[in-house]
Structure 1
Amino acid sequence: MVMQDTGNQLFTESVLDEVLISLKKGTANEKETAMEIIRNLDLADFADRHPQSLSGGQKQRLAIACALASGRDLLLLDEPTSGLDYVHMKETAALLEKLRSMGTTILVVTHDSELIRACCTRRITV
């Protein structure tokens, strides 16, 4: 699950540690796998930084990295593009689309119509 307010979701001493504790049990080459996820979310330069020192968008991407590391078949995301700039929003949309095409079920709660158009196959308006 990725919450809109990541402040309550991140609690380790580094970006790398945050992803490592989220990894699915039994993951081979844990550090390499964690770093690959971190690189895919454009956070490699911050791997040793404390999560609370990151910008809002970087924290959001870290929370997404942790969700990916868990290896779950279902991802729940609350406003996943909150705090992201346009480039990272497009990258996040592409990543969600890729995960969907690989069989991951993704539920997104968002006001971001651009994200919806980019990667969602169904829309429920409340």
Structure 2
Amino acid sequence: MKPSFDKAVMELKKERESRRLVTENEEAASLEKEEAITSDRKGVMALEEEHLEETRQRETEWQTQHKVLEGQIECELATKEILKTSEQKQSREVEEKWLNKEEEWLNKEREMRDEMQLLNQRNAQLQVRLIS
């Protein structure tokens, strides 16, 4: 009976060793999976951080570009407003000159009519004297 008992003990030891190896292999595989998951998570986190940083940089660049363009537009608008004001002033000055010239011509016309009227009156007086 002893040999069969020894044989059974040996088989139990083999079974136990086999189970221990299976358990160790399962634990090693589980540990490898956890390490792979942790590594993947770190990689994903790094990519997300990189993407977030790129997004921040683009946002900063966009804001800077927006401010520059806004400044340029404000400058252009101010320049156009100055030109518009200057052109309006010049237009008023030209119009004023034309109005002054027109007034001068109207005054000269009145003076000439008055002078013609006086000359006609003198002429009439002279004709009356010559006839009488």
TM band (smaller chain): under 0.3
Higher strand share: 1
**Greater RCO structure (CA 8 Å; 6+ sep):** 1
Q: Higher helix share goes to which structure? A: 2
TM-score normalized by the length of structure 1: 0.15
- Greater gyration radius: 2
